[in-house]
């Protein structure tokens, strides 16, 4: 819009110069106005009385030609956008230019172009600017966006707090952490599962998500104990997640990783997620430690190309990997979670399994329970790693029970990380969301047969989706 306003000023400049020059030459104002307009169409045949008129005669046709190009360019984009909108999968992106550029690489949808945060019609909206800017845009256009799919980059708000199914929060750090653990080679810690140590250098929002996703996905054995040694500012992590003590794995915070090189050398896994002075940190680790592999969450992977010991680095290009259509829309995971919920409804309430009921049953759930199903679907990647050498056509009851036990641990951790605790609700039901208590937040061995069967059914159903 600024460009257009500046262009309008230049457009009327020949008119102003023409009027000034002709009135100085004693031409009546009405004639001066007419002659000045005619200059835009090369129709002025009078003399050049002075420099003002001469300048106007040359500038006016140039401005005419420029304005035609300007308006054609302006309306051409609007026409292209209108054509793209006629398809049902058009997308418009707002916000950070770098993030938008990365996201565009994975989109095969028609992309509607716009400047800044100007509202345009589309079927999906991806907002990846500053959080306040994203939320303000949504608030200002809430009615127009009511039936649209809106994806908002947000690190502060929790997805479980959003009740509108058309609005999805996506957190680049959360997606990155989940993808990392999905790709993680579990053999690195399985041999030492009773006393494994994973070191994290750096914390902040990215480190927090790495720990939270680890606690929900790194569940390999009922008797495991993994210690996450974190070098970074705690930022009230343990006070916010007050039920961490109920989880068998522990999170320990330290200052100054340089003073704990012995601990780092003995760790099963070392992850660097600190972005400030990252190259310096990596150089020190390469020179001062004997770690065979260092996992690096790198914003700019190319800076490590020249390091002599780069073979000791596992570079995780977290932005490039996280910001894809599949991860932002997350439609497959959501569909599996809905099918999982529908299977529950079929098994326990005789609901027929079809597409209509899949949506109806899903919409009956509160947001917290929806994300519990999504969490279970996410964890399935880890489950498949654990059973990759099993004969899935001949699963014994013992093995199903083993996987059900792990599923119960996963379910419990999901609740603990939302600060739920064991309790017997006064209403006689299994849970009380207001009090954040659940009767089944107990060891798997103490569950009733009905509840164990639910975990077994979850495992069996997800194995069908392998």
Backbone phi, then psi, for 353, in 5-degree steps?
-85, 105
Give the tens place of pLDDT for each residue, 415-446.
Answer: 999 999 999 998 888 999 999 999 999 999 99
Give the tens place of pLDDT for each residue, 99-149.
Answer: 999 999 999 888 988 878 889 999 999 999 999 999 999 999 999 999 999
Burial of 311 (0-12, 13-18, 19+ CB in 10 A): exposed
Maximum alpha-carbon separation in the chain: 106
> Would you say 218 and 226 are in contact if contact means Cβ atoms under 8 Å apart?
yes
The band of 451, judged by pLDDT with boundaries at 50, 70 and 90, is very high
Which strands make up the sheet holding 250-254, listed edge to edge? 250-254, 226-231, 196-201, 269-272, 294-297, 313-316
Q: What is the pLDDT of residue 291?
A: 92
Q: What is the pLDDT of residue 4?
A: 52
* 3-class secondary structure, 42: coil
Alpha carbons 201 and 273: distance in angstroms, whole number: 6
The band of 318, judged by pLDDT with boundaries at 50, 70 and 90, is very high
Distance (Å) of CA 127 to CA 23, 163, 302: 54, 18, 28
Backbone phi, then psi, for 228, in 5-degree steps?
-100, 105
Task: Report strand pairing: 269-272 vs 196-201.
Answer: parallel
Alpha carbons 380 and 466: distance in angstroms, whole number: 9
Q: With a cut of 90, say whether residue 222 has pLDDT above it.
A: yes
Give the tens place of pLDDT for each residue, 46-91.
Answer: 777 788 888 888 888 888 888 777 777 777 777 778 888 888 889 9
Q: What is the pLDDT of residue 3?
A: 52
Give the tens place of pLDDT for each residue, 280-306.
Answer: 999 999 999 999 999 999 998 988 888
How long is the chain?
A: 466
Q: What is the pLDDT of residue 44?
A: 75
Give the tens place of pLDDT for each residue, 368-380.
Answer: 999 999 999 999 9
State both tokens at 279. 């190259």
User: What is the residue extent of each domain of the chain?
Assistant: 2-68, 91-170, 176-322, 330-464
Mean of per-residue pLDDT scores for the chain: 89
Q: With a cut of 90, say whether residue 344 has pLDDT above it.
A: no
Give the tens place of pLDDT for each residue, 324-343.
Answer: 999 999 999 999 999 989 98
> Would you say 390 and 402 are in contact if contact means Cβ atoms under 8 Å apart?
no
> Would you say 117 and 90 are in contact if contact means Cβ atoms under 8 Å apart?
no
Buried b (16+ CB within 10 A) or exposed e, 214-250: bbbbbbbbeebebbbbbbbebeebeeebebbeebebe
Alpha carbons 138 and 299: distance in angstroms, whole number: 28
* 3-class secondary structure, 250: strand
Burial of 278 (0-12, 13-18, 19+ CB in 10 A): buried
* 3-class secondary structure, 362: helix
Residue 110 DSSP label: P
Burial of 45 (0-12, 13-18, 19+ CB in 10 A): exposed
Q: Which of 10-14, 197-201, 423-427 has the lowest mean pLDDT?
A: 10-14
State both tokens at 70. 């300007």
State both tokens at 419. 């600060």
Q: With a cut of 90, say whether residue 262 has pLDDT above it.
A: yes
Which alpha helices (H) appear in 184-251, and where do they start and end?
Answer: 187-190, 204-217, 237-240
CATH 1.10.3720.10 fits 176-322, yes or no: no
* Mean pLDDT confidence for 1-8: 56
% the chain with pLDDT above 70: 97
The band of 6, judged by pLDDT with boundaries at 50, 70 and 90, is low
Backbone phi, then psi, for 296, in 5-degree steps?
-125, 120
Q: Taking the mean position of all CA atoms in its chain, how far away is CA 388?
A: 29
Q: What is the pLDDT of residue 196?
A: 95
Q: What is the pLDDT of residue 462?
A: 87
> Would you say 225 and 248 are in contact if contact means Cβ atoms under 8 Å apart?
yes
The band of 7, judged by pLDDT with boundaries at 50, 70 and 90, is low
Question: Bridge-partner residues for 70, per DSSP?
Answer: none
The upper half-sphere exposure of residue 372, i.e. CA atoms within 13 Å in the direction of its Cβ, equals 22
- Name the E strands within 24-106: 91-95
The band of 38, judged by pLDDT with boundaries at 50, 70 and 90, is confident
Q: What is the pLDDT of residue 307?
A: 80
Alpha carbons 251 and 243: distance in angstroms, whole number: 12
Which strands make up the sheet holding 437-438, listed edge to edge? 421-422, 437-438, 431-432
State both tokens at 273. 């997620």
Q: What is the pLDDT of residue 33?
A: 86
Q: What is the pLDDT of residue 461?
A: 86
Q: With a cut of 70, say whether residue 244 has pLDDT above it.
A: yes
How many C-beta atoms lie closer than 10 Å to residue 43's C-beta? 11
The band of 158, judged by pLDDT with boundaries at 50, 70 and 90, is confident
Q: What is the pLDDT of residue 364?
A: 92
The band of 219, judged by pLDDT with boundaries at 50, 70 and 90, is very high
């Amino acid at each position: 819009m600024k460009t257009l306003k500046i262009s309008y000023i230049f457009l009327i400049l020949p008119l102003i110069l023409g009027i000034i020059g002709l009135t100085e030459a004693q031409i009546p104002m009405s004639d001066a106005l007419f002659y000045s307009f005619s200059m835009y169409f090369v129709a002025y045949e009078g003399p050049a009385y002075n420099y003002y008129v001469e300048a106007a005669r040359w500038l006016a046709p140039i401005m005419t030609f420029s304005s035609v190009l300007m308006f054609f360019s302006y309306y051409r984009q609007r026409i292209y956008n209108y054509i793209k909108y006629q398809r049902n999968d058009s997308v418009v992106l707002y916000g950070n230019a770098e993030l938008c550029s990365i996201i565009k690489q994975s989109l095969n949808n028609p992309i509607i172009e716009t400047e800044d945060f100007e509202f345009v019609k589309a079927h999906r909206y991806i907002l990846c600017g500053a959080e306040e800017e994203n939320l303000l845009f949504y608030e200002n256009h809430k009615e127009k966006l009511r039936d649209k799919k809106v994806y908002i980059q947000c690190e502060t708000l929790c997805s479980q707090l959003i009740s509108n199914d058309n609005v999805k929060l996506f957190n680049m750090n959360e997606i990155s952490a989940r993808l990392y653990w999905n790709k993680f080679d579990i053999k690195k810690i399985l041999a030492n599962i009773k006393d494994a140590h994973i070191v994290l250098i750096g914390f902040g929002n990215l480190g927090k998500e790495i720990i939270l996703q680890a606690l929900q996905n790194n569940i390999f054995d009922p008797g495991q104990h993994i210690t996450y040694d974190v070098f970074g500012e705690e930022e009230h992590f343990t006070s916010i997640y007050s039920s961490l003590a109920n989880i068998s794995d522990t999170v320990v915070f330290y200052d100054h990783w340089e003073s704990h090189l012995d601990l780092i050398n003995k760790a099963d896994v070392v992850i660097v997620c600190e972005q400030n002075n990252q190259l310096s940190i990596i150089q020190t680790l390469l020179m001062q430690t004997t770690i065979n592999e260092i996992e690096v969450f790198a914003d700019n992977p190319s800076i490590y190309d020249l390091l002599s010991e780069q073979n000791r680095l596992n570079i995780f290009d977290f932005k490039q990997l996280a910001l894809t259509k599949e991860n932002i829309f997350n439609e497959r995971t959501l569909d599996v979670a809905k099918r999982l919920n529908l299977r529950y409804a079929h098994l326990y309430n005789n609901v027929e399994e079809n597409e209509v009921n899949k949506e109806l049953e899903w919409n009956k759930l509160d947001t917290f329970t929806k994300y519990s199903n999504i969490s279970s679907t996410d964890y399935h990647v880890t489950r498949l790693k654990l059973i990759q050498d099993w004969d899935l056509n001949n699963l014994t009851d013992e093995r199903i029970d083993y996987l059900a036990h792990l599923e119960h641990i996963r379910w419990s951790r999901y609740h603990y990380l939302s600060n739920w605790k064991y309790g017997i609700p006064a209403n006689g039901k299994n849970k009380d969301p207001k009090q954040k208590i659940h009767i089944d937040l107990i060891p798997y061995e103490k569950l009733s047969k009905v509840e164990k069967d639910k975990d077994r059914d979850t495992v069996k159903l997800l194995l069908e989706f392998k």
